[in-house]
Amino acid sequence: AQSVTQLGSHVSVSEGALVLLRCNYSSSVPPYLFWYVQYPNQGLQLLLKYTSAATLVKGINGFEAEFKKSETSFHLTKPSAHMSDAAEYFCAVSACETSYDKVIFGPGTSLSVIP
C-alpha cells in the first residue's frame, strides 16, 4: 500500500525567498511520485513527476524535486517565490505496477507568498 505525508499544512514565504514543501512517502514497491498544484477553484496541474529515471526532477514554473530513497522523501523546491506561486500543493504517489494503479494524494500544503 502507498501513502503520502506532507509536513506543514500551511507554509508562508516572502517573495523572492526559497520555497520548500516537504513530502514523505511510504510504498511497498518502487514508487512513482508526483507534485500537483491547484489554484483556487480550479483543477489540478501536474508540476513534475518522478518515474525512476533521474532523481532530481525539474518541472514547470521553476519548480524541482529530488527523490531520496534513503529518506523516503520527495521535497519540492523553488529558488525564488513569486506571488503567482500561491496555491495548494499536493504530493502524490502511485505504485504503477500496472496501468490500473491508483494515485494516492497527500493532505496538501497551502503556500502563501508575502510581498
Partner 1 sequence: GAVVSQHPSWVICKSGTSVKIECRSLDFQATTMFWYRQFPKQSLMLMATSNEGSKATYEQGVEKDKFLINHASLTLSTLTVTSAHPEDSSFYICSARGLQYINTIYFGEGSWLTVV
Size of the site for partner 1 (CB under 8 A): 21
Q: How far is the CB of 26 from partner 1 (least distance, A)?
A: 16
Q: How far is the CB of 10 from partner 1 (least distance, A)?
A: 10
Residue whose cell numbers read 526532477: 57
- Contacts to partner 1 from residues 55-114, by CB under 8 A: 90, 94, 96, 99-100, 102-108, 110
Contact (CB, 8 A) for 76 and 20: yes
Q: Which is nearer to partner 1, 17 or 86 (CB)?
A: 86
DSSP classification of residue 102 = P
d(CA 78, CA 59): 10
User: Buried (b) or exposed (e) across 50-59, using 16+ Cβ within 10 A?
Assistant: beeeeeebeb
d(CA 54, CA 37): 21
Q: Is 31 in the site for partner 1 (CB under 8 A)?
A: no
Q: Which is nearer to partner 1, 25 or 90 (CB)?
A: 90
Residue ranges binding partner 1 (CB under 8 A): 32, 36, 42-44, 46, 49, 51, 90, 94, 96, 99-100, 102-108, 110
